[in-house]
Chain A
């Protein structure tokens, strides 16, 4: 857990005092990722760096796991906080192994232990130990260096991590890959993480909570969903963007709104049966055909079923797409738009059909939060 209590930093500059962080109070629960988000110069980095005292607070306190860090020895404090900077900052004079074992060596681990740890870390960040440990940072690609930067921060297994735009310097494709890897790692590691970003999409993807900063002040601190549904003021609203409702699509998994009920036919059914089912289920265009393993095999359209005689196996079209239970709604919506359809079959890990997702279900899910809020506002107004 990280708790900031009225944390303030005033820089004395030749042009006068700059309040970079103004009485920031917030709490990141253990095991969560908190994203500090805001435009450039709003004090995210300053706030982050006050936690490991790269920047000395003017006033206010930082608590880590309940302990006031004010009186702690700076070196000890920092060795217990993983730190990843945007410029990566790998030591070019050290091999990859030396880089990622820096903190364990500072902590006086014996050689066998830290070498073992180096291999563990490499496995964690999906880099081959034998291929990389003896190389130097300059021999690695940007993405690989960034992974090593994360590994170095994780080396001594600190409970808390600070990351300042850690994936900012990587190209978009690699960034998405590293973000996914990092989230997967975090599921196993459960670190308490403060993460600076200026990218709203990254924030929504990575954050359990998002703190929006403006000119040194913490404007809003909420879960991504709450933030997107209920931005506190015009600034937050404009920062989140006009398409903030769409951004919520990222946050919802198919699993949450899938409907188990889906009508289907098998290849051996007649087209007559297919037409009857289409009508029974009230589908407007077509019905899904599944094979004997209940995997999607095709679709039988209403027009064909009405005008033709025969068996489904001879009169189907290919399935345009299917989505997995763990896909997010953004992918679903994108597939629907791409194929001009209003529903998609959902499959489980074995590729078996387990339900369907409709455009209506998506819009109604997205809308429910707004309706609930309007209702609450209306009740509040009456009282």
Chain B
């Protein structure tokens, strides 16, 4: 009961604070400042999402088959060491990846997409591999013993059972991706980074925030979108969200 009433009080306090902030920002002209950036935000957010969409789908398209390939029994000898390489890959800061990508591909959208692609690839490949390897050996034996071909085993047993983990990888990867796109501005690719970094350069916090806040919102939005897709695609029997 005390916890309940404390929660209620906190909520009331928060509402008052938000309201006060709203009144203050309006009277100080802050909202007008933000609104001034709105056309830019709209344009750049779309650009931002395009960068994410292209590099993200490329990454998903490459990482899932890669994860599947590495999880095949015939690859068992190489898989673990290759996964180690991928794991080391994830520890390289994404800014460094972008810088490397720029030094090979120059300035512009293509090196940006490539850098984002590399940064997004790893978590998905890793989760696909781990998810598939995590399918219980008993299940695999049952599937084989019943007379499923290796392909049937993959599509009817392994992938459906690994799907939840794979989706978790995609969520992580896309969150990283959206958060990294602003850096892509540094190698000339556009996106909301333009507002953020220009804002920093000009000591204009409003401009910077009009880039940063939409970036955060986009990340949350995309995460929710993928979670919703996972909710419907991952079979109910292996979907913790639906049990």
Contacts and interface: CB of A to CB of B under 8 A. Distances in A.
What's the dominant secondary structure at chain B's contact region? helix
What is the interface residue range for chain B against chain A?
20 to 34
A94 interface: yes
A103 B147 contact: yes
Contact of A106 (B145, B147, B163): B147
Contacts of A92: 139, 161, 237-238
Contacts of A52: 145
Interface in B114-171: 136, 138-139, 141-149, 152, 156-157, 160-161, 163
Contact of B237 (A54, A87, A137): A137
Interface of A: 52, 54, 75-80, 83, 85, 87-95, 102-103, 106, 136-138, 152, 162
Interface of B: 136, 138-139, 141-149, 152, 156-157, 160-161, 163, 235-238, 243
Given A89-B138, A91-B139, A106-B152, A152 B235 contact: no
24 contacts: A52-B145, A54-B144, A78-B144, A78-B146, A85-B141, A85-B145, A87-B136, A88-B142, A89-B136, A89-B138, A89-B139, A91-B161, A92-B161, A92-B238, A93-B160, A93-B163, A93-B237, A94-B235, A102-B148, A102-B156, A103-B146, A136-B237, A137-B237, A138-B237
B142 A85 contact: yes
B145 A95 contact: no
A79 B146 CA distance: 6
B147 to A, nearest CB: 4
Contacts of B147: 75-80, 103, 106
Contacts of B152: 106
A83 B161 contact: no
A91 B145 contact: no
A30 B146 CA distance: 21
Contact of A83 (B136, B139, B145, B243): B145
Contacts of A137: 237
Contacts of B146: 78-79, 83, 102-103, 106, 152
Contacts of B139: 89, 91-92
A91 B143 contact: yes
Contacts of B141: 54, 85, 89
Given A88-B138, A89-B143, 14 more contacts: A52-B145, A54-B144, A83-B142, A87-B138, A89-B138, A91-B143, A91-B156, A92-B161, A93-B161, A93-B163, A94-B237, A95-B237, A136-B237, A152-B146
